[in-house]
Amino acid sequence: MQGFPHHYRVRGAAAPDGDVTLEAEGLPAIATQPPAEFGGPGDRWSPETLLTAAVADCFMLGFRAIAQASKFEFVRLECEGEGVLDRVERVMKFTALTVNAKLTVPAGGDASRAGKLLEKAEASCLITNSLSAEVTLRTEVVEA
């Protein structure tokens, strides 16, 4: 891992209408539009879906790193994220983010330890730690 601080750079380009194109060095471009809730087509990534996806992705990547460091074996981690955007004191902001995680462990796996590692991943998520929205983690551990 590199020393801190880390810097992340993106570029964007937009015409008067149509897609906004986001790019970062070495990564494929992403086409975005407003979500359907804001009159957009609803068939592209939006800032709102990207933020919600970042929460879910950060949680899963964090869990994977923690599981590897802890030598904890798992079969699969599935995650659904939900973000709630609301108006608070005339300002739009995310007020709640929920992560629903389903962890499949091998038969005979340690469900108690799995739960602790899932909580550790949630607590160490740099995305949710950077936001003011309330974050809720719901977990389910099942055996393969």
| pLDDT tens per residue, range 43-89 | 999 999 999 999 999 999 999 999 999 999 999 999 999 999 999 99
Is residue 58 situated within a structural domain? yes
- From the centroid of its chain, how far is CA 40? 22
Would you say 19 and 46 are in contact if contact means Cβ atoms under 8 Å apart? no
Q: Is residue 7 situated within a structural domain?
A: no
CA atoms of 25 and 51, how far apart (whole Å): 20
> Is the model's pLDDT at 109 over the cut of 90?
yes
Query: What is the tens place of the pLDDT at every residue in 35-45?
Result: 999 999 999 99
Domain range for 138 is: 47-143
Question: Please, what is the angle between helix 111-123 and helix 47-69, to 10°?
Answer: 130
pLDDT at 129: 96
35: which strand partners? none
Q: Which two tokens stand for residue 137?
A: 């983690």
Q: Determine the average pLDDT of the residues in 90-95.
A: 97
What integer pLDDT is reported at residue 1 of this predicted model? 82
Residue in this structure with the two tokens 């790019």, named with its chain if needed? 23
The CATH number of the domain holding residue 86 is 3.30.300.20
